[in-house]
Amino acid sequence: MSLLKQLFLAICLFLLVAFSGSFFVGLESSREQMLGQLRSHAQDAATALGLSLTTQIDDPAMIELMVSSIYDSGYFSSIRVVNIEDEKIMVERTATAASGGIPGWFVKLVDLRPQGGDALIMRGWEQAARVEVLSNPQFALAKLWDSTLGSLIWLLLCGLLSAVFGGWLLRRQLRPLDTMVKQAEAISHREFLSSPKLPNTPELKRVMLAMNQMVEKLKGLFAEEAARSEKLRAESYQDSLTGLANRRLLDEQLADQLLVSEQSRTGHLLMLRVNDLTGLNQRLGGQRTDALISAIGQLLKRLAQQPERHTWLAARNRGGEFSLLTPGLDTQDAARLASEISATLENLRLTGASDCTPVAHLGIVAYAPGETSGDVWLRLDQALTQAQRQPERPWVYLARSDNAPNQTQHDWRTWIDDALTHGKMQLYFQPVVQCADTRQLLHHKVLARLLDPQGEAIAAGHFLPWIERLGWTARFDLAMLENTLEYLAEHRQPLALSLSGSTLSDATQLRILLDTLEALPDLAPLLTLEIDERQLPPPEALRQLSQSLRETGYHIGLQHFGGSFNQIGNLTQLGLAYLKIDGSYIRAIDQQSDKRLFIEAIFRATNSIDLPLIAEMVETHGELEALRGLGLFGAMGRLIGPPQPM
């Protein structure tokens, strides 16, 4: 029971006790007083009537007239004149009892009985008759009833005013409790909120200070773990001079792209090598050479950080050698990109370099899932060697020898538009299970395949780059959402669905998405909406987006996590259901101790706020056992189960 209700009941109980006590005390006092007044009234009337009748004792008509006169002028139940000799009634006037609007229960409770008085009528020295008078308590009862009603109304008015004022005062004084409740709920949603405004009440002020200290302590612990994890990630996967990924992370990401999986896609790998780095060091000094390397790194970082290129990865292999991994890039765009980079590099030419020698040479090769990384690097070395031998152009493109003829953009546009318009989409589901017990299903990840004109299901990795290029990402996401919700309406089981950053950043498309979710609130407990870490908006926009999605009742998860661990502090305000660790940090984790240290640091940070971790792309039993040892909550990958239609 709330404090407000308890206060209201306490006021009611207090008023009841106060009214009852006041009523009974006042009743007893008034009752005795009224009885005395009634007795006095009856006796005075009897005495006066007796004296008046002494001179008229032998005149019956006059006796009756005088009795009627006295009876009609006062409040009497009865007046009678009794002959003393034979006790016969000479004259009698009586009145029937009347309630006068007074409840019977009140009459019984007061029990105010008629009071009597008598007097003798003399004939000389002889007692001739006796006058008996009974007073009527009806007037006294009416006075007591009016007094009781007045007291009750006054107490009820005081009680009402006390309840209103007490409720307002209680709400005002206990408002800090609402803030503390929000803080506790925020912690349960993995958010840390401090209240800068402290209450004036000393007791509540101490509680609020203790709550703020606890929140700050949790926030500090989480920040320490996050900083430690980010430091481990930077040491393992980041180049210290340029801030780009190192060769190790590039190899991991390339291996992901070469795996034959639902999300794998064709693309290109570009390698850039600065000419005569040793000579530049000798002629210009290490500081200016480092400035050149940093400038090249910033160039590649800008190219990879564009929103539509969230899957790209820029890396520094070693020395003056850089790479750019571009999943989903077609042949024409790859050639255009190489020309753009070459032209930009010429603007970075340093004094002391040969005027006829390019700053750097580029090699770019195509790759496809199913290849080995060794074959890709071999072709890339060949392309770079050819680029260094030709003077007319500082870059060379090498296609795969077994490349099939590329479909034109018109072909892709036609059949993707037809598939989305006519609902030619097939849902595939990949299981996500608990690490500790792989028989315990957590949910299924929803994937999609579009049917081409021949009716063949095409994996997402093939058509997603074209959907992004055509600007139909939001259209595809909404179609996926509608199909998933239709499936959930018939088969109620937990699912997870990815949403692209371009859909969530478009206010119009986001409103359509939110309206669709709000129309089906009963499905909210079954569906988790996943956001790609590589497509996260700025912190404030991310917080508003998260709040909008959570208001629909649906859960939110973050997938492909690990590349931007420095943003984990912002994730505490999102109320995430889980984090899915990117598969590149999971591969061969049973064989690489530094990966285990990195994942362990992430686990400590997220475990402090009770945020479950799920590993993506678990491919071997050794990886699964390592994840179990680290305490991760869930796992998914081809070892657990490949995507399949239900």
For 440-475, what is each residue's pLDDT tens digit? 999 999 998 888 888 888 888 788 888 888 889 999
- Return the percentage of the chain with pLDDT > 70, whole number: 91
How far is Cα 246 from Cα 235, in angstroms, rounded to an integer?
10
Residue partners of 384: CB distance under 8 A and separation at least 6: 271, 273, 361, 362, 363, 396
For the chain, give the number of residues: 646
Starting at the earlier edge strand, list the strands of the sheet with 321-327.
245-246, 313-318, 321-327, 267-274, 360-367, 395-398
**Residue 354: per-residue pLDDT:** 47
How far is Cα 376 from Cα 593, in angstroms, rounded to an integer?
27
Q: How far is CA 200 from the centre of its chain?
A: 29
**Residue 476: per-residue pLDDT:** 92
Residue partners of 546: CB distance under 8 A and separation at least 6: 556, 573, 574, 575
Residue 504 has pLDDT above 70, yes or no: yes
Tell if the pTM clears 0.75, that is, is over it.
Answer: no
CB atoms within 10 A of CB 495: 21
State how beta strands 495-499 and 441-451 pair: parallel
Q: Which of 39-43, 225-229, 291-295 has the highest mean pLDDT?
A: 291-295
**What kind and span of H or E run contains 332?**
helix 331-346
Closest CA to 617 of 593, 600, 641, 594: 641
Residue 639 has pLDDT above 80, yes or no: yes
**Residue 160: per-residue pLDDT:** 82
Give the torsion sign (CA, 517, 523, 525, 531): negative
Residue 405 has pLDDT above 50, yes or no: no
Q: Which residues pair with 363 in a beta bridge?
A: 271, 396
Q: Give the C-alpha distances (Å, rounded to integers) separating 232 from 225, 252, 543.
A: 11, 17, 27
**Residue 451: per-residue pLDDT:** 86
Local confidence band at 403 (pLDDT 50, 70, 90 cut-offs): very low
Q: Which residues pair with 89 in a beta bridge?
A: 82
Q: Which of 180-184, 280-284, 309-313, 352-356 has the highest mean pLDDT?
A: 309-313
Rama region for 101: left / alpha / beta (φ>0; ψ in -120 to 50; rest): left
Q: What are the pLDDT digits (tens) for 187-221?
A: 665 566 677 777 777 777 777 788 788 777 777 77
Residue 482 has pLDDT above 80, yes or no: yes
Q: What are the pLDDT digits (tens) for 545-599?
A: 888 988 899 999 999 887 766 566 666 667 788 999 988 889 889 988 888 888 8
What SS3 class is residue 102?
A: coil
Q: Give the C-alpha distances (Å, rounded to integers) separating 508 from 150, 209, 475, 514, 515.
A: 65, 43, 12, 10, 11
**Residue 422: per-residue pLDDT:** 86
Local confidence band at 1 (pLDDT 50, 70, 90 cut-offs): low
Residue 3 has pLDDT above 90, yes or no: no
How far is Cα 476 from Cα 638, in angstroms, rounded to an integer?
25
Residue 514 has pLDDT above 70, yes or no: yes
**Residue 165: per-residue pLDDT:** 83
Residue 408 has pLDDT above 90, yes or no: no
Q: What are the pLDDT digits (tens) for 96-145?
A: 656 567 787 777 777 777 778 888 888 777 788 888 888 877 777 788 88
- Mean pLDDT for the chain overall: 82
The answer to whether 79 and 132 are in contact (CB under 8 A) is: yes
How far is Cα 19 from Cα 13, in angstroms, rounded to an integer?
10
Q: What are the pLDDT digits (tens) for 217-274?
A: 777 777 777 777 777 777 778 888 888 888 988 888 888 888 767 667 788 999 998 8
Residue 2 buriedness (CB in 10 A; 0-12 / 13-18 / 19+): exposed
**Residue 576: per-residue pLDDT:** 86
